[in-house]
Structure 1
């Protein structure tokens, strides 16, 4: 067994290669919408999968070359447009995705022991592309690491400017589908055009958008929580909420309020985060969370849309109110933030983002991204579903992750300064002690119409 949480080094038997589409693909510049090329999204989504049994490297390379025919922008390169160096496009040139193969002297069981909390040594599991800037990193980087036991770890880095979580899941499932069933058509054909999300001319900004602010480097009048957090060593905290735990949270909103699992857990996490940070009572704290807009626009975005089809909902309240409020009140704030996101509001947001001085307001915000309902944990390349699925690294942004083997449970992962983690975990679990004596009251979720 491993003597520490530090992973051994990877051995690379060969230099990484570029995997190009297996047949010619369209050569053109792909327009990126204002939702795609926000500075907030200029990073790669990094997934880590652990499989009990490895898949042939040749099969994975061959199927990747085939799936890149349909998902050809991932084989291209990001560029700044000639008209505006802050506006990005994709040069669909078929240059290829980076594919690295490696070996690590570890077993799947040993990795599972470590899998509750990522640590910095996990970065060894994804090949680091030497690049001068974010634009020089290929949109898709893959590393397959074979293990001593015959298992494998698959890590992927997919540029967020090209797609969101739904799109990454769609691509990974397409790749797995072609690997296991090479002669069958893809279940979903990707739709690459983003014209439906073009801004209007003239712009019609008819709503306030509290999740955004204009760049003003001279404004130092309020605390920047992100800078405060990032100025300290961060450690990940990982908490699993079972179906029973989530039901206990929802009970706090009964009988007058129906709420979803996400609304209840996001509200509870936001409140616990604010409580643990001991913020100034008058500070305006925000919760930013992704909302899928594919069915909210008129007309609806086409099926298979392969771009960023989400906006950030923004709930806000001063810290004093959040700390003193009950969960019912906080859930209402989250629901109100979701309810305003109709077609008019979303298009107003797209128009607002045409102004490149506008940026996501992270200064006093907790950002939550939900990975737990995207089907990411169901990925199967022909040798069975993963033993573990999660991010390669943990950050101050909070992830709601799937729990392998329990589709209704959620794992909450976020990194915080070491001196704050214990308080945050206490507030996150505090309600369980209070509810322990209420389990025998005959309450059933379905009786109360909760979602």
Structure 2
């Protein structure tokens, strides 16, 4: 069966009222080279009546308080800034000649090219757009919102806050429930770190394989109860699920017992800067924490031991973040290049995407659309699609020869 998507009426959505002009500074976290990439995602809804028209108007209203989003990135004095030009967000309306059921509700792997449901970039004369959006309506009445956003403007929580405002405008609110605040200048630049010598790292491509696994809420609660019973302490869903993924992967890839197997994830540092950051801050504000242990130790470690390592790293956040800000090279989270021993984890389950309701119900499915990266093993945490409860893991983290074992071990968690 062939599928066709017709894209019509591409345009720039500008703020509905006049907004401030001028340049705004980005923080050093926004300007990190690791932040300059587009984050692509799809948000799938089972029903909507002329959603493109509703969202187009809501975007225009949301861009009044969030006016920097309608601007453009610009260089000033050798540093990246946001020029508040009010030129707008690139918006595409589209229609599909098939139903969501025909393409399995756009579950991954996609049954249609991602280019069909994500907005294409505007013409060459429209550059440095911060956000792009496409709303595609299906024959069944469902729709998908495809978003491309530049991470330099903010992380998942920041874009989640912006999209929550879009939803609020769509549902008739006159102002956001939380007013956005810029505040990037409140984050001081760190002391200049000591430069590490040596040649640049050489990255070897890996034949990484994709796997999606749903971890039921009942199983997660059993693991959390087990941890509480053995330690007298509580732990989070993220802690126990990450512990299991980390161990399953370590057992599957079977590195030398003395080789380190690592997991890395972004930990929010907003609470550490609460005295200087304004309410409504939506910029990047995190530190990549890495948890490491020898392969041999992870092979037979208990749940309590695995979770304990993760919680110990999380508890050290204040210390390592302070050292990083002071310029300590040992606290530089990017000092060790990625290799097969590292798993990079992104938690999308709590950034607000799954709760966005334009008036027809919450999304049935939210997912990142990630190009194949042969240089880094990755794992995304999402909410399991309705009616399931729990966590959906999207992994691209083991090579073909280890995939069978990893798949078998992970499906035991389902």
TM-score past 0.5 threshold: yes
Unaligned runs of 5+ in 1: 206-212, 433-451
Contact 1:377-1:404 within 8 A present in 2 as well = no
SS at the partner of 2:63?
Answer: helix
Match of 1:27 in 2: 21
Offset at 1:98?
0.5
Match of 2:353 in 1: 376
Separation in 2, partners of 1:76, 1:351:
32
CA separation of 1:238 and 1:66: change in aligned 2, threshold 3 A: same
Match of 2:89 in 1: 97
Separation in 1, partners of 2:46, 2:411:
32
Offset at 1:307?
0.2
Separation in 1, partners of 2:141, 2:328:
48
Contact 2:119-2:148 within 8 A present in 1 as well = no
Separation in 2, partners of 1:91, 1:74:
10
Separation in 2, partners of 1:197, 1:332:
31
CA separation of 1:117 and 1:246: change in aligned 2, threshold 3 A: farther
Is residue 11 of structure 1 aligned with residue 15 of structure 2? no
Match of 2:223 in 1: 249
CA separation of 1:203 and 1:137: change in aligned 2, threshold 3 A: closer
Matches for 1:8-407 after TM superposition, within 5 Å: 8-14=3-9, 16-56=10-50, 57-83=52-78, 87-112=79-104, 114-118=106-110, 121-129=113-121, 136-181=127-172, 183-200=173-190, 216-218=198-200, 227-229=204-206, 232=207, 234-250=208-224, 253=227, 254-256=229-231, 258-297=234-273, 299=275, 301-342=277-318, 345-352=320-327, 359=334, 361=336, 362-363=338-339, 364-393=341-370, 396-405=377-386
Offset at 1:119?
6.4
Provide TM-score, normalisation by structure 2.
0.87
SS at the partner of 2:292?
Answer: strand
CA separation of 1:154 and 1:59: change in aligned 2, threshold 3 A: same
CA separation of 1:243 and 1:289: change in aligned 2, threshold 3 A: same
SS at the partner of 1:70?
Answer: coil
CA separation of 1:313 and 1:169: change in aligned 2, threshold 3 A: same
CA separation of 1:190 and 1:39: change in aligned 2, threshold 3 A: same
Offset at 1:255?
0.8
CA separation of 1:118 and 1:359: change in aligned 2, threshold 3 A: farther
Separation in 2, partners of 1:242, 1:73:
40
Offset at 1:154?
0.7
CA separation of 1:268 and 1:383: change in aligned 2, threshold 3 A: same
Separation in 1, partners of 2:335, 2:16:
39
Contact 1:167-1:307 within 8 A present in 2 as well = yes
Is residue 411 of structure 1 aligned with residue 392 of structure 2? yes
CA separation of 1:214 and 1:398: change in aligned 2, threshold 3 A: farther
Separation in 2, partners of 1:188, 1:215:
45
Contact 2:224-2:240 within 8 A present in 1 as well = yes
SS at the partner of 1:317?
Answer: strand
The root-mean-square deviation of aligned C-alpha atoms, in Å, is 3.0
Unaligned runs of 5+ in 2: none
SS at the partner of 2:7?
Answer: coil
CA separation of 1:75 and 1:218: change in aligned 2, threshold 3 A: closer
Separation in 2, partners of 1:173, 1:276:
40
Instruction: Encode CA deviations 1:135-155: one digit per residue, 9 max, x unaligned.
Output: 944110001111112221111
Separation in 2, partners of 1:131, 1:267:
45
Q: Which moved more, 1:388-397 or 1:156-165?
A: 388-397
Offset at 1:285?
2.5
Separation in 2, partners of 1:236, 1:350:
36
Instruction: Encode CA deviations 1:136-190: one digit per residue, 9 max, x unaligned.
Output: 4411000111111222111111211111111111111100110121x53210111
What is the count of residue pairs matched by the alignment? 402
